[in-house]
């Protein structure tokens, strides 16, 4: 029975992979150990760095406090502690958390004990300095803060020793991994050379010539020669299956092209008819859109009329719901009408407005300001109680709007204004 190409290559690949797995198994184990040593070393090094930074700040604080005590300078002492104590407390907290995460509970408890007494000791030294009891402050420094500094220094030394041990373990692990890696490389190269030799023989006899013929047929097929076939002899392996599938695909593509050409012709005729129908529908929609825009414009003018009642006085009665969009339309109409007629007063009658939200209410101030810029005034009449509450909620006071109870009262106010202007 003839072996298939896949079985030939599969057997060779399996033997090579088995050899590589056996050689590299130990190397992967050592790589895992190397990763653990590296992580442990990083953790210990970070702890050493944090502890050294904490020790440096304690030494600086001790030096600053001693200098301030020697100079009898409580202000300098306060400034030094304000600058360094929060940093020291934060560093001690982070170092304690790092020790806890590394399961070094004794070191973590020691740091927490130092944190518990450190800030209290500093505050007591500050209190003694404020009382100018410098001898007691110096004694407190020597008996409390200096031992804390010494304990941190001992922990730094212990951590440095642990770091050196971790680095030695890491170096040993690296050397073991290098040895294993060298064995893997040698074994892989030998296996690869053997595999390449056998594969080259198989490729030359079982793959190269058939694939060249299949490639030529596929190129002709891709160029549009749908009658191209591989015409390979019958084979029971994968190449024979591929050649048969390729020839079947070529025949199917030839039939599909014929059917597709017929469908394209029929569909082209349908699309041309649909296109004509869509163009007609689009024209109808455009006409309808123009008519709708004209109707909306007429409706807007009808909802927001501006009516002259005298030569210099206009009235704009508002009815129905008021929102920001409608207010923008009303403002544009009012400003245009006032500018066109050179009106001095526009009366905004909101008797027919049932409700007014805060945003819309605030827009009345904007409209009043715009009217003032073109030399006119706005009088708001007919405010309902709930609408007045909306204006107050929006932060609008009676001093910002000119108002009247109803239209009759508003007309009287306008007449009074004109009388004052004439006099």
Q: Average of pLDDT values for 122-146?
A: 82
Question: For residues 291 and 362, which has the higher predicted lDDT (pLDDT)?
Answer: 362
- Whether 338 is covered by a domain: the verdict is yes
Verify that 319 and 416 share a domain, yes or no: yes
Distance from C-alpha of 116 to C-alpha of 133, rounded to nearest angstrom? 24
Q: Assess contact for 370 and 347: CB atoms under 8 A.
A: no
Closest by CA to 113, choosing from 148, 156, 80, 87, is 148
Bin 231: left if φ > 0, else alpha if -120 < ψ < 50, else beta: left
Verify that 310 and 240 share a domain, yes or no: no
Verify that 13 and 128 share a domain, yes or no: yes
What are residue 59's phi and psi, to 5 degrees?
Answer: -65, -45
- Whether 213 is covered by a domain: the verdict is no
Verify that 46 and 154 share a domain, yes or no: yes
Work out the mean pLDDT of the chain and round it to a whole number: 77
- Whether 160 is covered by a domain: the verdict is yes
- CATH at 388: 3.30.750.24
Predicted TM-score (pTM) of this structure: 0.36
Distance from C-alpha of 189 to C-alpha of 6, rounded to nearest angstrom? 23
- Give the confidence band of 136 by pLDDT, cuts at 50, 70, 90: confident
Residue 216 parent element (H or E): helix 208-222
Distance from C-alpha of 125 to C-alpha of 133, rounded to nearest angstrom? 9
pLDDT tens for each residue of 229-285? 667 777 777 777 777 776 777 777 777 777 877 788 888 888 888 888 887 877 777
- For the chain, the C-alpha Rg in angstroms (whole number) is 47
What are residue 147's phi and psi, to 5 degrees?
Answer: -60, -35
pLDDT tens for each residue of 272-310? 888 888 878 777 777 766 655 554 454 444 456 788 988
- Whether 400 is covered by a domain: the verdict is yes
The pLDDT score that the predictor gives to residue 84 is: 84
Verify that 172 and 31 share a domain, yes or no: yes
List the domain range (segments joined by +) for residue 366: 301-422
The pLDDT score that the predictor gives to residue 288 is: 62
Residue with tokens 């202007």: 421
Q: Assess contact for 88 and 118: CB atoms under 8 A.
A: yes
Q: Assess contact for 348 and 316: CB atoms under 8 A.
A: yes
Verify that 326 and 374 share a domain, yes or no: yes
Verify that 12 and 146 share a domain, yes or no: yes
Verify that 271 and 320 share a domain, yes or no: no
Verify that 67 and 36 share a domain, yes or no: yes
């Amino acid at each position: 029975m003839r072996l298939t190409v896949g079985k030939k290559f599969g057997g060779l690949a399996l033997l090579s992979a088995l050899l590589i797995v056996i050689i590299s198994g130990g190397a992967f184990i050592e790589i895992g150990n190397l990763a653990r040593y590296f992580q442990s070393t990083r953790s210990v090094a970070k702890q050493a760095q944090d502890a050294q930074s904490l020790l440096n700040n304690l030494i600086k604080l001790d030096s600053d406090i001693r200098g301030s005590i020697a100079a009898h300078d409580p202000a300098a002492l306060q400034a030094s502690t304000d600058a360094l104590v929060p940093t020291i407390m934060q560093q001690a907290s982070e170092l304690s958390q790092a020790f806890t995460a590394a399961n070094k509970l004794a070191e973590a408890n020691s740091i927490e004990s130092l944190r518990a007494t450190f800030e209290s000791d500093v505050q007591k030294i500050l209190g003694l300095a404020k009382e100018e009891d410098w001898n007691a402050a110096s004694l407190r420094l020597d008996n409390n803060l200096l031992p804390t500094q010494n304990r941190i220094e001992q922990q730094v030394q212990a951590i440095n020793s642990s770091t050196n041990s971790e680095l030695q373990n890491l170096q040993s692990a690296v050397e073991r991994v290098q040895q294993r890696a060298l064995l893997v490389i040698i074994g892989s190269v030998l296996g690869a050379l053997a595999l390449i030799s056998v594969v080259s023989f198989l490729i030359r006899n079982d793959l190269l010539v058939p694939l060249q013929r299949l490639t030529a047929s596929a190129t002709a097929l891709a160029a549009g020669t749908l009658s191209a076939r591989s015409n390979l002899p019958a084979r029971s392996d994968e190449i024979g299956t591929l050649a048969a599938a390729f020839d079947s695909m070529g025949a199917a593509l030839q039939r599909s092209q014929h059917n597709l050409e017929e469908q394209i012709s029929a569909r082209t005729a349908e699309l041309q008819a649909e296109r004509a129908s869509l163009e007609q529908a689009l024209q109808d929609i455009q006409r309808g859109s123009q008519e709708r825009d004209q109707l909306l414009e007429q409706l807007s003018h009808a909802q927001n009329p501006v009516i002259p009642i005298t030569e210099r006085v206009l009235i704009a009665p508002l009815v129905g719901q008021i929102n920001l969009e409608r207010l923008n339309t009303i403002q544009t109409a009012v400003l245009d009408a006032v500018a066109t007629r050179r009106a001095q007063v526009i009366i905004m009658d909101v008797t027919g407005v049932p409700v007014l939200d805060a945003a819309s209410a605030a827009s009345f101030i904007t409209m009043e300001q715009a009217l003032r810029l073109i030399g006119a005034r706005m009088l708001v009449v007919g405010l309902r109680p709930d609408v007045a509450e909306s204006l107050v909620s929006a932060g609008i006071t009676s001093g910002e709007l000119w108002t009247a109870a109803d239209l009759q009262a508003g007309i009287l106010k306008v007449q009074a204004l004109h009388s004052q202007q004439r006099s």
